[in-house]
A and B are shown apart, each in its own frame.
Chain A
Amino acid sequence: MIISICQPYALCAWPFANFCFRRETKKVTTPILDMKGITKRFPNVVANENVDVELYPGEVLALLGENGAGKSTLMNVLAGMYRADAGEIFIRGKRVEIDSPRDAMRLGIGMIHQNFMLVDTMTVAENIILGLPDLPFVPNMVDVNGRIRQLSERYNLQVDPDSRIWQLSVGEQQRVEILKLIYRGAEILILDEPTAVLTPQEAKELNGILQQMTREGKSAIFITHKMEEVIAFSDWVRVLNKGRLVTVKQTNRTNPQELARLMVGRDVLFRLEKKDHDLGDVALELTDVSANNDKGLPALQGISFRIHSGEILGVAGVAGNGQKQLVEILTGLRNVSGGKIRIFNEDKTNKSPLEIINSGVSHIPADRIARGVAGDMSVANNLAMKCYRKPPLVRKGFLHPARILDLARRMIDLFSIDTPTPQTHAKFLSGGNIQKTILAREIDACRGLLIAAYPARGLDVGATEFVRKQMIAQSEAGTAILLVSEDLEELVGVADNIAVLFEGKVMGILPSNKADTEKLGMMMAGVKLEETTA
């Protein structure tokens, strides 16, 4: 059986369909931003080498490149987080020195980072004014709220200024980040992988906001790994490769295939081959499981399904419909309030993470920073974090550093993790390479059941293709996989069956070759499978 996802753009561009118009680049003589010959070195790495960026008012620039190509570094230089070793930056034709985020803000440059930087326990309004240079000792919150409402109306950014950050979804938090920048009068917005954590609907809204801002003459630079977004969002594309600028293209003169080729240096097929293979015994079985969320409200209700060895079950759904809790109860990080979980025919309901790991379960967590890596430990130790308990890495309680290093070298090679040395601290890797480190560790150590939450988040096209192939290969070798994803293309291409979650309930499970976006979309909106076919 060959499932072809050759037409991913037809499939995935649907959220953006309304926005696929192109504007002619306006004739303005001086660029609002001109970065010339930027070079930034880190110990053992040249992250940027002689990179130029040019941006005119009203334009959106997409920055593309493989994991570790230097995109985040380049933008961090512009936003005042890092200082370039060489090169010049001109804003509206004037040479500037940007030494701190505050300098950048003064110049109208605002950045939304790969990981959000909001204070969880404070309100939206407080977060927005936090760190403003000319803040009075007691800010007038009525004025602030008024201004926030006005701005959110103008850009169609709905948020309640008085709600607290922890109460907001990821998409809403991002709106707060954008509002924060607009409030400070940012003219150049930098968005580092803004859509990686967004649902397609939220990504579409983001595009609308960007369009509104560029109409007012603001400009934006955004980093993404999703080609369809490059086409839908941007006017220009710049491609980085190993720190160097390799291509500058006008978006309407290129296409996703060409961009992928420019990035990776070869054709990316966007198609996955799956061999027919026999399924084994039941690996995971949930019977009428329910669980609460952190606030004690029901998050999962009456969930029942089973996965056989060699089967990939995809879990689709709009974020916040119970995916997080589902993954947590399966990995021992959350207790169920009812029902039974059986893994390889043994009762694993409310067992500890260690007991579950010991029964052969691997876990790719959704939050790679909070759960995935220990940033101040070496890449090698991070790669050993799952197998360090057993020989050959440990003997009678004593670690075997040489073997850990061997293991690390092998995985770094296999998963092409871009790290200066195996001893480099994980926090110095690029976002995508941190993700690859986790994937390498979990996939390699997997002994029968893999719980994967958004495994391709933050990966470049080449790495995404590789990870999907790895998962398929694992399933062919007899591993059972639960794949939680927001990417319908990924689910249809990789999974054998797809379950759709809505408000903590399974709306139905259908074979992926019978799944189409329309049907999945309806189920994600709360329509039961039987009703869609009716």
Chain B
Amino acid sequence: MRIVFEKRKTLSRKAIFLVPLASFFISLILTAILLAIFKANPFVTFIAMFKGAFGSWPNFTETLVKATPLMLTGLGVLVAFRLKFWNIGAEGQLTLGGIAASWVVLFWTPFLPPWMVLPLAILVGMLAGAFWAGIPALLKVRLKVDEVLTTLMLNYVAILFAEHLYYGPWRDPKGFGFPGTPQFPDFTWLPRIAGRAHLGLIFALVLALVLWFVLNRTRWGFELQVIGNNPGAAQTQGIHIAKNIMTALLLAGALAGLAGVCEVTGISRRLQQGLSIGYGYTAIIVAWLAQLNPIATIIVALLIAALLVGGDQVQMMMGLPASMGLVLQGMLLFPMLAGSLFTEYRLRIIKTKLRDAQSG
């Protein structure tokens, strides 16, 4: 018997649904083995995880809290990935969006009517995210600089800059040395809708619908499709590739920037350590698992958020080692990612019996 791994020659509709499902079960089995090694009952753990994420209204709103930035950054990553522009800088774009919003709130408030501060913070935050994504886009279209490197490096720049601010010049003098800015005035807080879940969730849902429409039903979306699919054909048809990469990335950055704005004005209400817990990176997984579809991104973001929340809960409730939550999340994600390969590839098992005939 021999097993071969081959690219699917035709698109399989069944595979698109079955593969994620199958990989989810494999994830469960692998995780169960790991849990058994740590002498935790897998079933109890899974149920606890599920309950942790969805079991009660407060828990569910917590899941929504985590899902919101994943949705927004996921949408941003998706726009760039559609163009085969490998933007792994959502983390930095989110951070810069948070910084910019904080700047508006902390320093412009005295000069503005109160109702104007939040909208302006949102606007400036999105512009900052766009700017941060625009740099690698410009470098790519002008100088052909590889975007993977630039977007990644800019993440560190943004994160360290934020640290510099809340440890240094922006630190709350009354904060007992806690790394963070003073709390924002309450009229600048992003309204909450349930528990800690805030208006950002509504933004994400609406933007996903809008984005789906833009990508599938507008001239611009059409051009993005052609560029992502075959730049040579796009160029031949007079589609301006550089201009489209720029606009798409400005949009991608603005979406990630909005995620940052929502985090600082809706959750922490100050710029502080832990603005992002790697949302920008997880967003890549979200966009990929959603196969770059905006609507699917919403659903996947929700599931991954459930995994994050449920994992944290389990670790606390079951008394597992502190890093176990992360390990669980990784174990669950890994097969799902590997599985996404199988929508494009398949394994084929070849019986040996027939082979004998030809080896003679």
Contacts and interface: CB of A to CB of B under 8 A. Distances in A.
Interface in B162-188: none
Contacts of B358: 91, 94-97, 106-107
Given A333-B236, A385-B233, A394 B350 contact: no
A100 B218 contact: no
B220 A385 contact: no
A374 B233 contact: yes
A71 B230 CA distance: 26
Q: Which of B220, B236, B348 has the most CB of A within 10 A?
A: B236
Contacts of A401: 217
Contacts of A399: 217-219, 221-222
A373 interface: yes
A94 B356 CA distance: 10
Interface stretch (A24-32, A49-57, A364-372): A364-372
A372 B355 CA distance: 42
Given A97-B354, A388-B219, A398-B218, A374 B230 contact: yes
Interface in B319-360: 348, 350, 354-355, 357-358, 360
Nearest to A41: B10
B114 interface: no
Contacts of A331: 236
A354 interface: yes
Contacts of A97: 350, 354-355, 358
A96 B357 contact: yes
A398 B220 CA distance: 9
Size bracket, chain B contacts: 20 to 34
B197 to A, nearest CB: 33
A386 B233 CA distance: 11
A448 B316 CA distance: 73
Nearest to B240: A354
A286 interface: no
A357 B225 contact: no
Nearest to A386: B237
Interface string A78-118: 00011100000001001111011000001100000000000
Contacts of B6: 100
B218 A371 contact: no
B205 interface: no
A398 B222 contact: no
Interface string B1-45: 000101001110000000000000000000000000000000000
B238 A397 contact: no
A319 B229 CA distance: 29
Contact of A394 (B219, B225, B232, B360): B219
Contact of B236 (A363, A377, A384, A397): A363
B296 interface: no
B1 to A, nearest CB: 12
B236 A374 contact: no
A376 B84 CA distance: 13
Given A91-B358, A99-B350, A377 B225 contact: yes
A374 B225 contact: yes
A354 B238 contact: yes
A91 B359 CA distance: 11
A311 to B, nearest CB: 24
A60 to B, nearest CB: 24
B222 A381 contact: yes
Nearest to A393: B219
B120 interface: no
Contacts of B240: 352, 354
Nearest to B222: A388
Interface residues of A, number: 48
Contact of A397 (B218, B235, B350): B218
Contacts of A99: 4, 348, 350
Contact of B226 (A358, A377, A425): A377
Contacts of A428: 10
A97 B234 CA distance: 41
B226 A82 contact: no
B357 A94 contact: yes
Contacts of B348: 83, 99
Given A97-B358, A354-B240, A372 B233 contact: yes
A398 B229 contact: no
Contacts of A333: 235-236
Nearest to B359: A106
Given A95-B357, A333-B235, A388-B219, A82 B230 contact: no
A42 B350 CA distance: 21
B11 A425 contact: yes
A521 interface: no
B5 to A, nearest CB: 10
A373 B238 contact: no
Contacts of B232: 367, 370-371
A352 B233 contact: no
Contacts of A352: 238, 240
Contacts of A131: none
A87 B252 CA distance: 51
B229 A374 contact: yes
A73 B234 CA distance: 29
Interface in A310-364: 331-333, 352-358, 363
A78 to B, nearest CB: 14
Contact of B360 (A94, A332, A376): A94
Nearest to A98: B358
Interface in A93-148: 94-97, 99-100, 106-107
A410 interface: no
B238 A353 contact: yes
Contacts of B360: 94
A385 B233 CA distance: 9
A256 interface: no
A308 to B, nearest CB: 25
Contacts of B219: 388-389, 394, 397-399
Interface string B215-254: 0011111100110011011111111100000000000000
A353 B11 CA distance: 33
Contacts of A381: 222, 225
A43 interface: yes
A375 interface: yes
B204 to A, nearest CB: 23
Specify which of A91, A107, A363, A397 lies most central, judged by the most chain B CB atoms within 10 Å of its CB: A397
A521 to B, nearest CB: 32
A358 B238 CA distance: 9
Interface string B83-117: 00000000000000000000000000000000000
Q: Which of B4, B226, B237, B350 has the most CB of A within 10 A?
A: B237
Contacts of A389: 219
A531 B268 CA distance: 86
Contacts of A398: 217-219
Nearest to A328: B236
Contacts of B235: 333, 353, 371
Given A381-B222, A397-B220, 13 more contacts: A91-B358, A96-B354, A96-B358, A97-B350, A100-B6, A352-B238, A354-B239, A370-B230, A373-B230, A374-B225, A374-B229, A389-B219, A394-B219
Interface of A: 42-43, 81-83, 91, 94-97, 99-100, 106-107, 331-333, 352-358, 363, 365, 367, 370-377, 381, 384-386, 388-389, 394, 397-399, 401, 425, 428
11 contacts: A107-B358, A352-B240, A354-B240, A371-B233, A373-B233, A374-B233, A377-B226, A381-B222, A381-B225, A389-B219, A398-B218
5 smallest beta-carbon distances between A and B, as pairs: A354-B238, A374-B229, A353-B238, A96-B358, A357-B238
